[in-house]
Chains A and B, each alone.
Chain A
């Protein structure tokens, strides 16, 4: 038994080595291919910074006078555009806690001096530094609401913004997993990492298997003392390697674009764990396809048909919360959603407690087990 295992592992390693040597021999093309996609996405989409959506704005009304109510009314009606949403918060301390925890991106505190013709500040706004770019996106609107309503008072006095460059408290419970509280580029990177990994996967082991089949290599390999487990294992390890390489490249590129990973180095490790779990499941899909489909062209069409919709429905481009109901249902059964959510928690909420990580990784794990199990069960090689 242990003999078979050693031999299987050994042969799998030889097959892995072969694929890696081929990969290495086309290194430049392979890297360009891996880098091109995230580069294009980030260049084009990260500059569309104004797409902040439903940014939560907390309001603490310390004035409780007619002017303050009118101001809040005006805020509510301005929020109907969907740019931000207004949340009334009973106390200053709770409001600050919510800013720190990321539950609201901006906290407006209405002082009793509001609307009076004194030089005292009427409204103070608080936000934490990770949210700066998002907040900047909605400030002009809030300013114009305020200035319209309090005409006659200089706007500079009306709203002052205190930046709070305080590191976020890592013990908070993140409720903003769909990235409502940050800029779009950071939001996008999580999705791009997942997509590049999945595309790398689909054009990894499965794709080499199908080209091996087409070129006749597979037949030559199968004549040697190989068993199917070593073929599958070799291709799987190769695929995982590719996804590690592509993830590393995307992270480097996004750092270059100014993205931050709030959890730092630990976060990078988490990202790799999430990506590997996601990749495992998609490796299963790619192996099933590769053993069933005859031509690489057809394989490419099938895999893109699977991967692109899953990507769009994973909340990679826009928050799942903004999808119509039927899409949201699909997104909830889409394994990519959980990977994207996890990566985003690590990168932009800055917290990935085990209570969040374990269920997400469990879902990815179940997906991987099902897909790899099916791949083992359905593995047939057509040598035609």
Chain B
């Protein structure tokens, strides 16, 4: 019995001189929810496109259930499903027709097809809207239809590319429930997301990717421990004072701190509540006004910022989307 359903080794993808994915290796275990996190342009979507056989890696291997997908691409088609980042339903077609097309593409016909469609419509709570054009559905309904559509062939592995982007809070929570339910029924789930709380609450394990490389891999708990065994102290200070504050903390207290935009982040010990008050009094003595101060257990935000830096990558994201002119050939 193969415990690892996906085995990725030294995966590299170059678009011209731009390296989108730079030597990623990871395993995904049977039955887990695996998250891929990263800022825009980090290489998440490129990795997923390679995993689905939509683009060919420059080098490296991907094995699904032990089969090299370069040699046996049909394995992916049979075992894997994808829900894309964009909600992909044909608005001009009814819910029924949308599902029919996919059922037929997966080679279903007759009773088997009808059964699969009925099941999917029930799962998506769209039985009453069977013959309504999908274009008139709300965002949440379309997303549900999209999800069952990508499950028409009952894949063992489901890839969800930012499944909740653009959904309101209620629909997001309901989507999480659906994902958990699918997972419980035995489907291995791989999801990319920008929402850290989504990754935290859903994923058994996750990989944080930046600049095409894995920066960290582990359970959410393990990753949080990387930031601090204990608590994280955050002190917000006026921007012009921030360098001075950092110096003062280092000189007077010997504590290393990290500057993130307008705040100073310090890893503290487990029961080190005193540190916070000491820092506050030192800063007050130096007449550095404190805007806010807090002490909390590390969150994935802290992990994310520690690993990827706090800077916004919109520019790079743009560059990547230009570079990922994904080619599909077979």
Contacts and interface: CB of A to CB of B under 8 A. Distances in A.
B92 interface: yes
A219 B82 contact: yes
B74 A216 contact: no
Contacts of A22: 90, 92-93
Interface in B99-114: 101-102, 104-107
A116 interface: no
B106 A26 contact: no
B330 interface: yes
Interface string A352-384: 000000000000000000000000000111111
Given A11-B105, A225-B74, A225-B106, A220 B85 contact: no
B105 A383 contact: no
B327 A382 contact: yes
Interface stretch (A13-21, A118-126, A133-141, A157-165): A13-21
A227 B86 contact: no
Determine the main DSSP class of A at the interface with B: helix
B80 interface: yes
Nearest to A7: B107
Contacts of B133: 25
B92 A223 contact: no
Interface string A218-231: 01111111111000
A215 interface: yes
B81 A383 contact: no
Contacts of A219: 54, 82, 84, 88
Interface stretch (B170-178, B241-249, B253-261, B318-326): B318-326
Given A21-B97, A219-B84, A223-B80, A380 B106 contact: no
Interface residues of A, number: 30
B330 A227 contact: yes
Contacts of A220: 82, 84, 88, 149-150
A21 B328 contact: no
A225 B86 contact: no
A217 interface: yes
A64 B219 CA distance: 110
B329 interface: yes
Given A18-B93, A216-B84, A223-B81, A228 B329 contact: yes
Nearest to A229: B330
Contacts, number: 87
A353 B324 CA distance: 54
B125 interface: no
B77 interface: yes
A107 B82 CA distance: 74
Contacts of B76: 223
B93 A21 contact: yes
Contacts of A383: 49, 54-55, 326, 328
A319 B171 CA distance: 64
Nearest to A294: B325
B54 A224 contact: no
Contacts of A221: 105
Contacts of B150: 220, 223
B151 to A, nearest CB: 12
Contacts of A18: 90, 93, 101
B5 interface: no
21 contacts: A10-B104, A17-B104, A18-B101, A21-B93, A21-B97, A22-B90, A22-B93, A215-B88, A217-B88, A219-B54, A219-B88, A223-B54, A223-B150, A224-B105, A226-B105, A228-B330, A380-B328, A381-B327, A382-B326, A382-B328, A383-B326
Rank and list the top 8 A-B pairs by shortest CB-CB distance, nearest first: A216-B86, A383-B326, A25-B92, A224-B105, A381-B328, A225-B77, A14-B104, A22-B92
Given A21-B97, A223-B54, A383-B55, 19 more contacts: A10-B104, A10-B107, A14-B101, A17-B104, A18-B90, A25-B92, A26-B92, A215-B88, A217-B88, A220-B150, A222-B328, A225-B74, A225-B78, A380-B329, A381-B327, A382-B325, A383-B49, A383-B326, A384-B324
Interface of A: 7, 10-11, 14-15, 17-18, 21-22, 25-26, 215-217, 219-228, 379-384
